Chain A
Amino acid sequence: MALKTANEFLDTIKKMKPRVYIGGKWVKNLLDNPVTRSMVMANAAMYGLAEDPANKEVMVATSHLTGEPINRNLNVARNIHDLDMRQEMALLTSQTVGTCNYRCVGCDALNSLAATTWEMDRDLGTKYNERFNKWLAYAQANDLAVSGAITDAKGDRRKRPTQQDEIDVFVHLVEKRDDGIVVSGIKVSQSGAIGSHETLVLPGGALKEGEEQFALAFVVQNSVPGLTYVCQYNAYSAEREMCGDESELGNPIYGQRETSTMIFDKVFIPWDRVFLCGETKFCGKMVTRFAKAHRMNCGGACKVGFADLIIGGTMLAAEYIGVEKVPHIQEKIIDMVRLSETSHACAIAAAMRGREEPKGSGVYLPDDLFGNAAKLNIAHGFWEIIKNAGDIGGGLVVTMPRLKDLDDPEVGPALKKAFSAAAPAAKRLKVAKFLQHWSAGLHGPGTWHGAGAPQTQRFMFTVLTDFEKKKKMAKKLMGMTEE
């Protein structure tokens, strides 16, 4: 049984008991807390999408290990078509849930691991790839929801991991035993581990000789003793907890994007789940390969799916007040489409120009330059898109009363008068709340930082661009001779 249904996934999650803390409370049941439930339901929707025959090409792949059909979130890309369908999956999942596909980071992490463990075995004679493939076959056979944790807490940025006052700001090795390793430390901004079965943990960045204790890649079961999740908590969390009727919210079922701080307190990881331990030389490659995949998917496709939703909501807002044909409104909406589709084009280009890396591994990764272009473009473009949504949506996006207030016998009639326009007040407020979710929510900074802050993409541009070649071209055309 390689593909689970959404209901089968929910049945397993009901029995998962990670140690989760949110807004001052411990969560005993992920489906009872309205905030953690929204995350779990988004994960369930990913299983639901794979059930639908209409999505088979995008959501279902064939395991290169077993030949069985598997959820694409657990697939290692073996050709250009796989890369293209991977980015299409990121688009489809975002369009469907309007929040994170919480299996996305895990998918890109496992592609990086497939490439890098193969290279380590080739160069060092280790058995990491064999071990990784056994884990992957097990994850595929059980259709596990696998999330990914990359970013360490990092502490004082002027200092290397070994120089930090508090060693736990980086996940690190505590003990090496016959049966496995013991790890401690903190990963931050982690998306969706609480409602997944397992989490792939990669090093947060390149490491140097002498930093071996931080060079770790492993997969952890999400409820093992010693692992604690402290969830993000903000105005949207509080609103979801307090509203009493989630249908009033901007994204009723799936919510904003839910992350947590993962605290490892002497957590045991058996060797069969360890994919890098001490090999500092390969940490940079592992993270770069992850970023290469993630910038195409998270930047160039996922956020385009969000943009599609925002554009749809913005057009409805315009129609509901009768301004949809006004030229400057149309121009702003076209700008939103231009910004978003340019990123999608970069993602498609990144997939189409993808190649086997390393040669002989059978693993395909996207083109680095186009992937970085996709991410950098949407990081800036997304702010423009939500600015236009706020512009066209009007002040109502942030000044609206509760939707339920329309039904209040005392104030409801006046509110209906106030907010009825080319459509009834209820429709206007519903769309305004939807646009509030996007333009005044968490997605702006989330899009900026997700898959790496733009400064990292700018740096990659300087590395990947052959500026000398461009100067030479210009000189040749101008007829300038070399001195």
Chain B
Amino acid sequence: MKKKAKKVEASAGETGMEIISVKIGSKAPAIYKGLGGTFASFMDSCLRKRALPGFHEKGLIAEAEPKKAGIVLCLSGKRSEAKLKEVLDIALLNTGAYPNTGGKAGFFIDVKSEQ
């Protein structure tokens, strides 16, 4: 078990914190900071539970595809960039990640709307 724990802690660095970049459309990415394992929580929610943290209705995630150190999310329905930003802001806060100014992101979330 110790070995497995070390693997994840290494990704969070010495401070134990993770920087996550959220890209929506053409705008500059929004940056969030959370405890190590925050991105793993987010990934687990999207891929295994097929739900965004804080959103309990089924079918919000149309597609979720893991990429290297990241995930590409497609949310169902037609949603503006502002709405997508609002949804992701709530989802990340509910995962324990808070808005941060700057920092080198180790994890990436790319979000688009279905239509």
Q: Which A positions have Cβ atoms within 8 angstroms of B?
A: 12, 15-19, 125-127, 131, 134-135, 137-138, 142, 176-180, 197-198, 221-226, 268, 270-274, 277-278
List B contacts of A180 (CB < 8 A). 8, 37, 40-41, 44
- List of 5 A-B pairs having minimum Cβ-Cβ separation, nearest first: A270-B37, A134-B16, A17-B54, A223-B94, A272-B37
B44 and A268 contact, CB distance less than 8 A: yes
Answer whether residue B1 sits at the interface, using C-beta atoms and an 8 A cutoff: yes
List B contacts of A125 (CB < 8 A). 2
Partner pick for B54 among A16, A131, A271, CB 8 A cutoff: A16
List A contacts of B7 (CB < 8 A). 178-179
Contacts A/B (CB < 8 Å), 23 sampled? A15-B54, A16-B54, A18-B54, A19-B56, A127-B5, A127-B9, A131-B16, A134-B12, A137-B16, A138-B17, A138-B35, A179-B40, A180-B40, A180-B44, A223-B94, A224-B94, A225-B52, A225-B56, A268-B41, A268-B44, A271-B5, A272-B36, A273-B37
A473 to B56, CA, bound (A): 65
User: With contacts A127-B2, A138-B35, A180-B37 known, what are 9 further pairs, Cβ within 8 A?
Assistant: A16-B94, A134-B35, A138-B16, A198-B96, A223-B54, A223-B94, A224-B41, A272-B9, A273-B37
B96 and A221 contact, CB distance less than 8 A: yes
B5, B8, B90 interface centre (most CB from chain A within 10 Å):
B5
Least CB separation from B55: chain A residue: A17
List A contacts of B1 (CB < 8 A). 176, 277-278
A225 and B53 contact, CB distance less than 8 A: yes
Least CB separation from A142: chain B residue: B98
List A contacts of B9 (CB < 8 A). 127, 131, 271-272
A179 and B94 contact, CB distance less than 8 A: no
- Minimum distance in angstroms from B86 CB to a CB of chain A: 9
A131 and B93 contact, CB distance less than 8 A: no
Contact with A along B1-31 (1 / 0, CB 8 A): 1101111110010011100000000000000
Answer whether residue B110 sits at the interface, using C-beta atoms and an 8 A cutoff: no
A221 to B98, CA, bound (A): 13
- Minimum distance in angstroms from A443 CB to a CB of chain B: 32
A429 to B40, CA, bound (A): 55
Contact with A along B44-71 (1 / 0, CB 8 A): 1100110111111000000000000000
List A contacts of B53 (CB < 8 A). 17, 221, 223-225
B8 and A179 contact, CB distance less than 8 A: yes
List B contacts of A198 (CB < 8 A). 96
B35 and A272 contact, CB distance less than 8 A: yes
A271 and B8 contact, CB distance less than 8 A: yes
B37 and A178 contact, CB distance less than 8 A: no
What is the interface of chain B mostly: helix, strand, loop, or mixed? mixed
List A contacts of B49 (CB < 8 A). 225-226, 268
List A contacts of B35 (CB < 8 A). 134-135, 138, 272-273
A435 to B7, CA, bound (A): 57
List A contacts of B5 (CB < 8 A). 127, 131, 271, 274
Answer whether residue B95 sits at the interface, using C-beta atoms and an 8 A cutoff: yes
A270 and B38 contact, CB distance less than 8 A: yes
Answer whether residue B89 sits at the interface, using C-beta atoms and an 8 A cutoff: yes
A221 and B41 contact, CB distance less than 8 A: yes
- Minimum distance in angstroms from A63 CB to a CB of chain B: 15
A18 to B54, CA, bound (A): 6
List A contacts of B96 (CB < 8 A). 197-198, 221
A176, A177, A179, A273 interface centre (most CB from chain B within 10 Å):
A179
B94 and A270 contact, CB distance less than 8 A: no
A15 to B97, CA, bound (A): 12
List B contacts of A221 (CB < 8 A). 41, 53, 94-96
Least CB separation from B36: chain A residue: A272
Partner pick for A178 among B8, B36, B93, CB 8 A cutoff: B8
A468 to B40, CA, bound (A): 56
List A contacts of B6 (CB < 8 A). 127
A17 to B91, CA, bound (A): 9
List B contacts of A226 (CB < 8 A). 49
A17 to B56, CA, bound (A): 9
A17, A137, A268, A270 interface centre (most CB from chain B within 10 Å):
A270
A272 to B16, CA, bound (A): 8
A93 to B98, CA, bound (A): 28
A197 to B56, CA, bound (A): 17
A272 to B11, CA, bound (A): 11
Contact with A along B85-109 (1 / 0, CB 8 A): 0000110011110100000000000
B55 and A224 contact, CB distance less than 8 A: no
Partner pick for B93 among A16, A225, A273, CB 8 A cutoff: A16
A221 to B40, CA, bound (A): 13
Whether A270 contacts B36 in the complex (CB less than 8 A), given A176-B1, A178-B7, A180-B8, comes out as: yes
List A contacts of B34 (CB < 8 A). 138
Whether A12 contacts B93 in the complex (CB less than 8 A), given A134-B36, A142-B98, A268-B44, comes out as: yes
Least CB separation from A278: chain B residue: B1
List B contacts of A12 (CB < 8 A). 93
